[in-house]
Structure 1
Amino acid sequence: MISLFLDFDGTINDSSLRAYESYSMATKRLGGIPIDYQGFLLNKRNGIEKSALLFRSGIEVSAVDMFDNYVLSFIEMESCLLLDRLYGWSLELLSAFSELELKLFLLTSRRRSDLLQRQIDNYFIREYFSEIFVESDKAAFLNSQDLESTCIIVGDTEAEIVAARRARISCVSVSWGMRSRSFLSALNPEYLVDDFKDLLEIIGKKAIRKEQ
């Protein structure tokens, strides 16, 4: 049976407004002026160096550690989490996965497990996942060398590509999250999709092949 590890934020959950809000709050706390949402998203999706973002926001590059700490303290605040939304097709995708012969696991870099569990309950998606890996568990998974060849990881950033290569498992990169198609393509991922239906097709074919 295939084990499918699905990244949460950026892959099935649109967290871009929350990311922008936490950036804006951190920037203002340090006396800077946030750039607009579209500019911020363009920076994130193209993997622009954080130093360039700080410069554009009027913050000294030397304050990067303080900036990061502020972002981490804001990004999982309940008021920020309310900005998240499942993508319109996410429930359709999860439902389709549940009909395949696979075990589905959720990966996230969240630290507040209690707030994550509440959000998942509010989305009514808990039933789809065999297990949920939060920050420390996800880090251990991404650094694992002992994953089986039947594992597949799906995500929207370079982290999943690197982890899959290290563990010698399949990876499907999606272009609708926090990294753009051009950014991900430059990393030569095994699969790169622009639509959830393409993702479902790839996983479906792998599941059928495994049964045979």
Structure 2
Amino acid sequence: MTCPYDFILFDLDGTLSDPIDGIGRSINYALEHFAYAPLDHAQQAICIGPPLYHSFARITGSTDEAHLTALIDKYRERYGSVGYAENQLYPGIAEALQALSAQGVPMAVCTSKRADFAERILDMFGIAEHFRFVDGGDIHLEKWQQIERLRARGIVTEASLMVGDRDVDMIAAQRNGLSAAGVLWGYGSRAELSAFAPEHLFSAASELVQLLAPLS
């Protein structure tokens, strides 16, 4: 079976694994350090996907770059020690990645999360071997810019696919001419993803093997 895409990029948070506990607790750790009220679970969920800088700016209403950077640094203090491990691999992901790998499909992770944190998570779940590389984000780096860099280096092309659970993933793909696949087990709604008319919209991780089927 031949995959119709020459490369598949996977988002991490909300796509491969559920990070809400580690991210939510680490956000509250940073907020409480600076005397802000902690977020509840629903408020934490909104922060899964977008870059941290935008999330902290929205939560606090601050436009002070030094302050927002300090919040991110405090967040990473906890996340880097324990938060990254407060994470659950979604059911069926390991099996789907194995099936794609068995067919020789080249894959990588493209995440707004810092690359070293993402690599630790992939190692923790024993799925790092399926990916050629991890492309991570940082302050002021948008996901569409990450894919733009990959395109400029010739690593991905218009024949590549971005798989993710939030609008930022769909935007990043379409802005760079890639196909997009939305997943509904993460933190983006069907309406959020459908607004971008992705080529695929999956309800369960087991459906990812459909990426091996020729496009109709």
Q: TM-score, normalised by structure 2?
A: 0.75
After superposition, what is the alpha-carbon deviation per residue over 1:95-120, rounded to whole angstroms, capped at 9, x for unaligned? Answer: 1111224111122223252x443332
Distance in 2 between residues matched to 1:112 and 1:130, nearest whole Å: 13
**Which of 184, 197, 213 is 1:205 aligned to?**
213
The structural deviation recorded for 1:80 is 1.0
Alignment partners' CA distance in 1, 2:137 and 2:56: 25
Is the CA contact 2:14–2:186 (under 8 Å) kept in the aligned structure 1? yes
**Structure that is richer in helix per residue:** 1
Q: Secondary structure in 1 aligned to 2:134?
A: strand
Shift of the 108–196 alpha-carbon distance from structure 1 to 2, 3 Å rule, reads: same
Change in Cα spacing, 1:74 to 1:112, as seen in structure 2 (3 Å) is farther
Mapped pair 1:103 → 2:109: no
2:142 is aligned with 1:133: no
1:89 alignment counterpart: 92
Matching residue of 2:120: 118
In the comparison of the two structures, how many residue pairs are matched? 199
1:28 has 2:32 as partner: yes
Q: In the alignment, is the contact (CA less than 8 A) between 2:115 and 2:134 conserved in 1?
A: no
Larger Rg: 1
1:18 aligns with 2:22: yes
Residue 152 (structure 1) aligned with residue 138 (structure 2): no
Structure 2 equivalent of residue 70 of structure 1? 71
> 2:213 is matched by which residue type in structure 1?
K
Q: What's the secondary structure of 1:171's corresponding residue?
A: strand
Structure 1 gaps of 5+ residues are none
1:32-75 Cα offsets, whole Å, 9 max, x none, are 2223213432x447x9x959963xxxx5x236753564145414
The share of aligned pairs that are identical, in percent, is 23
Runs (5+) with no aligned partner, structure 2: none
If the length of structure 1 is used for normalisation, what is the TM-score?
Answer: 0.76
User: Residue 20 of structure 1: CA displacement?
Assistant: 0.9
Report the counterpart of residue 187 of structure 2 in structure 1.
178
- 1: CA distance, partners of 2:174 / 2:72: 29
Distance 1:100 1:166, change over 3 A: same
